[in-house]
Structure 1
Amino acid sequence: MSTDCSLLSSELELQRQEEIYQQLLLKTMEKMQTENPESKVILPQPGLCVKTVTEPGKQKVFVNICQSSSVPAPGDLTREELVELLQSEDPSGYRLPMSLGEPHVEMDNKSEGCTVYDVVINQEFFQKCQKDTLFQQFVILVSFEGLENKYNLELSRDWKVLKNRKFLGSVSEQNIRTKSRPIIQEMQPQESSTDLAKRPEFTLLVEPPAGDPEYLIAEIKLPGVAVSRSLVLDIGEDRLVLNARPSLFHLDIFHPFLVNQENSVAQYNTSTQVLTVTMPVVS
């Protein structure tokens, strides 16, 4: 039996290229963490896989809810408090720290293409959800809400948790924020509930309008706000949270861009009562 040496050489070359790629990837991850200590690259662990569809198109979607000890743990939440929260008008308003990954295309068990989203939550809290289906349903609900806000889609609440699959596709690294830097002032716990606050009118603009975006500009109308000292603004890499005290306005939105938090600036025009937030887009 003869051996085709060219095939062996090709396989060895592919293996060598894969090793080089992994080395470069590791160096890149280390460089990112050195240059930006406020972020961290993690490799999440599989957790559970949820199947649903988009509305109204009925396109098949899978959500991988993963776990990692690097994601901050949420505040203590008892089952009684969760029941009360789920009975409220906006249960998804609970602040559950999570990382929302970019969508990727995978093949389902029927060899059909489908869209998959990866969500990473705290490992200890995930284990709590495994022991109580009510907490599990709550995590799925908040995950859906976060994905809908970030990617401007609508997911059916008629979901199904796959029993024999913890993850669809392959687990990939995610770059998560370990610290969020506020622009106007440090965020403090609010004495008044944000449920009493109104959602202000706002617009999101991209500059330049065509081509690669350089800036994401948020213009937020805040009628009745006299001075900027009453504003508390927090800018994440893909999220903007604003509170106008005392409980006048509350805004919490995700946007489809990664922005440079450190170089973002905010200006409040007391005449027009419009807050303008200019955020450089990371290419």
Structure 2
Amino acid sequence: METDTSLLSVELEQKQQEELYQQLLLQTIGKIQSDSPPSKVIRPQPGMCVKTSSVLDKQKVFLNICQSPAVPPPPHLSQEALVDLLESEDPTGYRVPMSLGEPHTEMDNNSQGCTVYDVVINDEFFQKCQKDTLFQQFLIAVSLEGMENKYSLELSRDIKILKNRKFMGSVVEQNIRTKNKPVIQEIDSKKSNTTPSSTKRPEFCLLVEPPTRNAEYLIAEILLPGVMSARCLVLDLGEDRLVLIARPSLFHLDILFPLLIDQENSVAQYNTQTQTLTVTMPVVSS
């Protein structure tokens, strides 16, 4: 019985390519872990306590919105801009830096167990929210959304701000980063706020690694035919969003992720031969 050596050659080549991919992925993971930014433990100060409930089981949930100077302030936002932001269909362009703590169980006034989540924001921004009802409503909204995204919750928007207490239970220490790293290596110092009408949406795919259990990494592979150098690319990452511009007026891509990613520890590589951009992103929460 004769053996088709061409089929064996193809199988061997595919195996070698798969092994090479795994090696490259491990190298990328090792770089991400070794480049982790420094952090420190802080004890936030009480701010205000918000009472709500989970939509599925109607259980009471409390949100301790705390404050600390260790958390960076958000970009300046006027009240007029805030009104426009709340009225827009996509308010994700303005993000409030915050530290989201792990849930802990406490006893409420009726000696019943309840779930408590801690959110820590910049102390100056917290004081601004205390003086302005509109900003306070905005802060509560983004805090609820942050917890929902991180812990896959669905919280009621029927909330109550407790007047006689600033926190539920005890304030828990949190570990926060002390130095922010660039989201991605800067490719071009100039960015455009407008998208030319001649741009095209490139072909892309999103891969989950590992594919068979809880996702640890989200990998975006973007095909950019005609882009000869990484210097032609401008890439921005958010915790659930990727925006890519290829110049001059070639491609524009704006996609939302089904997972939350760690943008500060993500890495990107552009292969000039295949003209493919590969972005490897650690997954924070699914």
- Normalising by structure 2, we get a TM-score of 0.67
SS of the aligned residue for 1:249 comes to strand
Give the stretch that moved more between structures: 269-278 or 148-157: 269-278
The yes-or-no answer on 1:232 pairing with 2:274 is no
The yes-or-no answer on 1:131 pairing with 2:135 is no
Q: Match for 2:217: what amino acid?
A: I
Q: Aligned runs of 1:80-229 on 2, under 5 Å? A: 80-177=80-177, 178-185=179-186, 190-192=191-193, 205-207=208-210, 209=212, 216-220=216-220, 222=222, 227=227, 229=232
Gaps of 5+ in 2: 1-34
Q: Match for 1:49: what amino acid?
A: C
The yes-or-no answer on 1:61 pairing with 2:65 is no
C-alpha spacing 1:267/1:49, structure 2 compared with 1 (3 Å):
same
Report Cα offsets for 1:58-93 as digits up to 9, x if no partner.
222111111111111111111111111111113354
Separation in structure 1 between the aligned mates of residue 205 and residue 42 of structure 2, nearest angstrom: 34
SS of the aligned residue for 1:117 comes to strand
SS of the aligned residue for 1:150 comes to helix
Separation in structure 2 between the aligned mates of residue 119 and residue 245 of structure 1, nearest angstrom: 34
**Match among 252, 255, 264 for residue 248 of structure 1:** 252
Separation in structure 2 between the aligned mates of residue 91 and residue 224 of structure 1, nearest angstrom: 29
User: In the TM superposition, what is the alpha-carbon distance from 1:115 to its structure 2 partner?
Assistant: 1.6
C-alpha spacing 1:257/1:249, structure 2 compared with 1 (3 Å):
closer
SS of the aligned residue for 2:65 comes to strand
Q: Say whether the 8 Å CA contact 2:42–2:176 is kept in structure 1.
A: yes
Report Cα offsets for 1:173-208 as digits up to 9, x if no partner.
2111231243443696853279x9x9x987573548
Q: Match for 1:185: what amino acid?
A: E
Q: Say whether the 8 Å CA contact 1:108–1:114 is kept in structure 2.
A: yes
User: In the TM superposition, what is the alpha-carbon distance from 1:113 to its structure 2 partner?
Assistant: 1.8
Q: Percent identity?
A: 51
Aligned residues: 237
Q: Say whether the 8 Å CA contact 1:202–1:218 is kept in structure 2.
A: no
User: In the TM superposition, what is the alpha-carbon distance from 1:278 to its structure 2 partner?
Assistant: 5.4
User: In the TM superposition, what is the alpha-carbon distance from 1:52 to its structure 2 partner?
Assistant: 1.1
C-alpha spacing 1:222/1:93, structure 2 compared with 1 (3 Å):
same
Separation in structure 1 between the aligned mates of residue 159 and residue 187 of structure 2, nearest angstrom: 39
User: In the TM superposition, what is the alpha-carbon distance from 1:252 to its structure 2 partner?
Assistant: 6.1
User: In the TM superposition, what is the alpha-carbon distance from 1:265 to its structure 2 partner?
Assistant: 4.2
- Normalising by structure 1, we get a TM-score of 0.67
Give the stretch that moved more between structures: 271-280 or 105-114: 271-280
C-alpha spacing 1:182/1:232, structure 2 compared with 1 (3 Å):
same
Give the match for residue 51 of structure 2.
Answer: 51
C-alpha spacing 1:188/1:88, structure 2 compared with 1 (3 Å):
farther
Q: Match for 2:114: what amino acid?
A: C
C-alpha spacing 1:158/1:258, structure 2 compared with 1 (3 Å):
same
User: In the TM superposition, what is the alpha-carbon distance from 1:120 to its structure 2 partner?
Assistant: 0.8
Q: Say whether the 8 Å CA contact 2:44–2:120 is kept in structure 1.
A: yes
Q: Match for 2:83: what amino acid?
A: V
What value does the CA root-mean-square deviation take over the aligned residues? 3.9
Larger radius of gyration: 2
SS of the aligned residue for 2:128 comes to helix
C-alpha spacing 1:151/1:252, structure 2 compared with 1 (3 Å):
farther
User: In the TM superposition, what is the alpha-carbon distance from 1:47 to its structure 2 partner?
Assistant: 0.4
Give the match for residue 72 of structure 1.
Answer: 72
Q: Say whether the 8 Å CA contact 2:74–2:125 is kept in structure 1.
A: yes
Q: Say whether the 8 Å CA contact 2:61–2:114 is kept in structure 1.
A: yes
Q: Match for 1:71: what amino acid?
A: V
Gaps of 5+ in 1: 1-34
SS of the aligned residue for 1:155 comes to coil
C-alpha spacing 1:251/1:44, structure 2 compared with 1 (3 Å):
farther
Q: Match for 2:254: what amino acid?
A: H
Separation in structure 2 between the aligned mates of residue 67 and residue 55 of structure 1, nearest angstrom: 27
User: In the TM superposition, what is the alpha-carbon distance from 1:241 to its structure 2 partner?
Assistant: 4.8
Report Cα offsets for 1:126-175 as digits up to 9, x if no partner.
00111111100000111111112211222111111111111112112211
